[in-house]
């Protein structure tokens, strides 16, 4: 079936229009969502939503550098995970295709499950040998659900929202243990950036904030920049938390 005949409908009722015939990505299957930014007939169809992903890559390189300098093996995964998020999202928004949207979701699942398995280690739910298998199973299961949800017409973005909610709930449970209390200001700032990004993205999706021809600033582009900052603040929080003696080390015994 040709992509032009597959027109998805977003939850808020906005159609996902195909690219004009003859454009670089016009023969590809469409994504499940259409953001406000007008798609160009070019290799980069949505410049604002594409290049804003550089924030993930730049901050990912910074996280990788800081983790190497500290010699912390658990923290070294944050930088590559953020870079994966940025690269996959960049290619997806450049192409406006479901094929690369799939990898965009994979990138988000990767970072979410980095935080999930770290929290489960801190909660005592996982031992060190179980971390990588749990991470791979989680990312694999969520990734496998993407095509199914697409064909069922269920918003795939709800999976990411559920994972974020799980991360926040687990951290709330950890906070009740009284550990790392002094560092929760950083965590709350990260959560605030995440919330601000979600609001910008929702305003874009609902067309409340919508200037299609503006290829410099879009609500969803703001989501990329704000959440990249949120990921970096989460890294700063875990950097302090995982190095504290009161927290179980990823390489040490569960207390």
The pLDDT assigned to 175 comes to: 83
- Report whether 228 contacts 56 (CB < 8 A): yes
- All domains in the chain, ordered by first residue: 42-242 (1.20.1070.10)
CB-neighbour burial class of residue 221 (10 A; exposed 0-12, middle 13-18, buried 19+) = buried
Convert the pLDDT of each residue in 213-242 to its tens digit.
999 999 999 999 999 999 999 999 988 876
Between CA 66 and CA 151 the distance in angstroms is 42
What does the pLDDT average to over 11-35?
85
The pLDDT assigned to 177 comes to: 77
Q: What percent of the chain has pLDDT over 70?
A: 87
pLDDT over threshold 70, residue 4: no
168 CB-side CA count, 13 A: 13
**Which range, 84-93, 149-158, 162-171, 182-191, is most confident?**
84-93
The pLDDT assigned to 122 comes to: 86
């Amino acid at each position: 079936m040709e992509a032009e005949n597959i027109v998805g409908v977003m939850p808020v009722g906005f159609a996902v229009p195909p690219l004009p015939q003859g454009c670089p990505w016009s023969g590809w299957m469409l994504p499940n969502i259409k953001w406000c930014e007008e798609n160009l007939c070019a290799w980069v169809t949505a410049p604002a939503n594409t290049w804003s992903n550089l924030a993930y890559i730049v901050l990912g390189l910074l996280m990788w550098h800081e983790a190497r300098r500290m010699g912390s093996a658990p923290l070294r995964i944050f930088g590559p995970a953020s870079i994966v998020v940025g690269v996959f999202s960049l290619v997806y928004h450049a192409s406006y295709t479901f094929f690369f949207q799939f990898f965009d979701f994979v990138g988000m699942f990767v970072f979410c499950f980095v935080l999930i398995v770290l929290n489960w280690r801190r909660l005592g739910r996982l031992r060190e040998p179980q971390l990588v298998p749990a991470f791979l199973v989680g990312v694999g299961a969520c990734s496998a659900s993407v095509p199914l949800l697409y064909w069922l017409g269920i918003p795939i973005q709800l999976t990411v929202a559920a994972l974020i909610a799980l991360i926040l709930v687990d951290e709330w449970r950890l906070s009740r243990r009284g550990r790392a209390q002094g560092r929760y200001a950083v965590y709350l700032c990260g959560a605030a950036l995440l919330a601000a990004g979600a609001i910008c993205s929702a305003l874009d999706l609902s067309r409340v904030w919508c200037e299609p021809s503006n290829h410099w600033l879009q609500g969803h582009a703001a989501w990329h920049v704000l959440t990249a900052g949120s990921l970096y603040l989460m890294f700063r929080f875990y950097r302090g938390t995982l190095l504290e003696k009161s927290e179980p080390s990823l390489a040490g015994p569960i207390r």
